[in-house]
Structure 1
């Protein structure tokens, strides 16, 4: 079956002319400079199930929570390549901290356009405002001047440190047809049920947000546009928006793999292999082979991810993207993530069982990578099933966005 490959142009800075390559490089440098603070407090972040206050502050000072904020309100608007580079640097220090940056930025960037200017002016009184979100629909009941919202939204990453929550809701129109939309609610009006007890990404505090008959003014309620067949268009008319968000999320996981590589690289010349004549891993030809293989997998995987981000960022406004092309991008993304997972497994084999001591950051990078790689946007088996349907002509797209 013939199909046109998705090809981007060469220049990545296409999202906005206001953010120059020099400014993008400076943002990446600020992210890199924050890594020592994030790494120093990553253990505390993991243990307390919430990003350490010192880490939140260094991210704020670096302007990284302004990502996703509209530029007219002092935000930082960069292309997808720069996002991946920034998030990967942060992930080297603390994947949980990097996760909060990407989730807040992605939510703000995707949904801000749907709200009127007066709402945005209120919400973005400070450009480093943080959002969390919940995708499982709650209920919105019409009330004078707005709606009454109730429900529970699990996996709201960073809820305890967010200022606003964008909550998916379903309302019933006058004609009886359910309408999917969202409610933007101050966190001060919501409760948090601390349900996030998991093996990895513990520091993201992805708890359950709870609303009980909370009034939301009409101007802070949105409705999703409808796509083919009348289903909600979660892409908001931008075919690659959900794939782009998935690639940004993968930037954090690239950082986890790079952080794991950093840990082993620091000891490869001094760590003695158990029950062997070697004084260090570097003396063993087998250990050198394993390390070289893992190093290449991590670095080439990162290069692949940056290249993928560039091809997406280079899409011309209005350029047609077919379902097959979009699916192929998803397939490449999950392939990169699987490469990171295999590489970190090799690094654990090389380091040995002491890597699983709770004070060893290697096990935290491994846990965070493996939990994050199972995020709903990165489902390997559904991505593959979707691609199989499309390339064999057996059916239409399985995945929305």
Structure 2
């Protein structure tokens, strides 16, 4: 059954969008924390972000972080998006997910050809680009002048608030043969049906519903191949020449923006636990858990895990930023290291909060307990492919022993696409022991 779309906001309210620096954006995120905490339970119950939360996010610039400056966006560097989402996640991980994962999609759009960017930003920069990554029954057929899409794509986070929908898949040619040509398409919200399937254990407020396409025509200018869109030097690089995120291979960044919601959720859970436990009296013992040595010891252990996650998070994001500034391709070994770090950050955060929930006893099982909500949300985020423990740890371990990973794009990647900015400045990718194999990062 289709879910009725929520009422759309007016585009920009006729005002010129305000520009924010990194520091101003972080201050805007912190200013929203009290109201987001108040709305967290309702957000979960609604299974989508309230309209007033979306309005607040737009007003604060939190959904324009990677939107190109030429269209009224902030066009900030890499750190800004996960850092802002990390702050928001201390109050509501679902809202942080929309900021990081969905808000970041405007950076993908900034890599499309100019004609498409001019079209989607014609009404202003406050556009929400929803993607649905899981191609279930979805089919993309090549037709004259463009493509026809039919079927369902799953996990469209923020779908109730979307202005444009992006899905990808392998093309079926005009003779009906499936090809290995994967494309990314963009269609307006009016062409796509949102199907309410989002009944889940955690991250309920993300509203990650199904997107159903019924004979939707997408013209050529709204379609690019996935390697062209995510590889170095995409069509949008010369359109937005000052932002490295529109130029460098995008894969490692796309996989890492969820770290802000993950770390912020752990930090929020820790603070909520300390606040709740400090004045709590056990129902049976009539003693304060805060005075128990075991509780104090385990609290310290969880703090250490979160502190370690913070250090890895900073190292990870500093590396991605530096590679972007230098317009350098990421080596295969570095790409595998990135997956290992990302996954371990997720494991540290989940373990820290799992320990805290177990210490709360019966109080910790109630849905209304904020620590329980953080725990459920972290548990669901752990199921993301980007945080899959077995895949990323096995890739690293096999590589350490000189063994193939078993993944073709890592063991035998195609030739790398240099960033446009690197060739424009006469630079080349730094040579190393994996020179020529860097396309894995795409």
| Local SS of the residue matching 1:152 | strand
Aligned to 1:40: 38
| Local SS of the residue matching 1:395 | coil
TM-score (norm 2): 0.78
Aligned length: 373
Report the CA distance shift for 1:239/1:389 in structure 2 as closer, same or farther (over 3 A). farther
Q: CA deviation at 1:320?
A: 4.6
Q: Say whether 1:366 aligns with 2:352.
A: no
Report the CA distance shift for 1:359/1:51 in structure 2 as closer, same or farther (over 3 A). same
Q: 1:95-134: CA deviations, max 9, x gaps? A: 111111212233221243123x232122122212111112
Note if contact 2:66-2:74 (Cα within 8 Å) is conserved in structure 1: yes
Aligned to 1:285: 293
Q: Say whether 1:63 aligns with 2:61.
A: yes
User: What pairs with 1:298-309 in structure 2 (closer than 5 Å)?
Assistant: 298-309=306-317
Q: Aligned-pair RMSD on alpha carbons?
A: 2.4
- Distance, in Å, in 2 between the alignment partners of 1:344 and 1:44 is 22
Note if contact 2:47-2:207 (Cα within 8 Å) is conserved in structure 1: yes
Note if contact 2:65-2:80 (Cα within 8 Å) is conserved in structure 1: no
Aligned to 2:220: 218
Report the CA distance shift for 1:120/1:234 in structure 2 as closer, same or farther (over 3 A). closer
- Distance, in Å, in 1 between the alignment partners of 2:336 and 2:248 is 11
User: What pairs with 1:194-273 in structure 2 (closer than 5 Å)?
Assistant: 194-225=196-227, 234-236=230-232, 241-273=250-282
Report the CA distance shift for 1:397/1:60 in structure 2 as closer, same or farther (over 3 A). farther
Q: 1:188-237: CA deviations, max 9, x gaps? A: 111112122210111111111011111112211222337xxxxxx85456
Residue in structure 2 matching 1:120, options 117, 120, 129: 117
Q: 1:359-387: CA deviations, max 9, x gaps? A: 11111100000101211222111111222
Aligned to 1:24: 22
- Distance, in Å, in 2 between the alignment partners of 1:235 and 1:372 is 26
Aligned to 1:158: 158
Aligned to 1:338: 347
Structure 1 range deviating more: 159-168 or 22-31: 22-31
Report the CA distance shift for 1:376/1:28 in structure 2 as closer, same or farther (over 3 A). same
Q: CA deviation at 1:240?
A: 5.9
Note if contact 2:142-2:173 (Cα within 8 Å) is conserved in structure 1: no
Residue in structure 1 matching 2:320, options 300, 303, 312: 312
- Distance, in Å, in 2 between the alignment partners of 1:95 and 1:248 is 13
Report the CA distance shift for 1:234/1:377 in structure 2 as closer, same or farther (over 3 A). farther
Note if contact 2:133-2:167 (Cα within 8 Å) is conserved in structure 1: yes
Residue in structure 2 matching 1:180, options 178, 182, 188: 182
Q: CA deviation at 1:318?
A: 4.2
Residue in structure 1 matching 2:85, options 84, 87, 91: 87
- Distance, in Å, in 2 between the alignment partners of 1:225 and 1:298 is 36
- Distance, in Å, in 2 between the alignment partners of 1:67 and 1:251 is 14
- Distance, in Å, in 2 between the alignment partners of 1:396 and 1:346 is 33
Structure 1 range deviating more: 149-158 or 263-272: 263-272
- Distance, in Å, in 1 between the alignment partners of 2:65 and 2:161 is 16
Q: CA deviation at 1:55?
A: 1.5
- Distance, in Å, in 2 between the alignment partners of 1:308 and 1:144 is 44
- Distance, in Å, in 2 between the alignment partners of 1:166 and 1:283 is 52
Report the CA distance shift for 1:239/1:390 in structure 2 as closer, same or farther (over 3 A). farther
Aligned to 1:229: none
- Distance, in Å, in 2 between the alignment partners of 1:287 and 1:74 is 50
Q: 1:2-60: CA deviations, max 9, x gaps? A: xxxxxxxxxxxxxxxxxx9x921111111111111211111111111111122112111
Note if contact 1:83-1:248 (Cα within 8 Å) is conserved in structure 2: yes
Aligned to 1:4: none
Note if contact 1:356-1:362 (Cα within 8 Å) is conserved in structure 2: no
- Distance, in Å, in 2 between the alignment partners of 1:62 and 1:119 is 26
Note if contact 1:323-1:390 (Cα within 8 Å) is conserved in structure 2: no
Report the CA distance shift for 1:189/1:269 in structure 2 as closer, same or farther (over 3 A). same
Q: Say whether 1:140 aligns with 2:144.
A: no
User: What pairs with 1:376-395 in structure 2 (closer than 5 Å)?
Assistant: 376-395=385-404
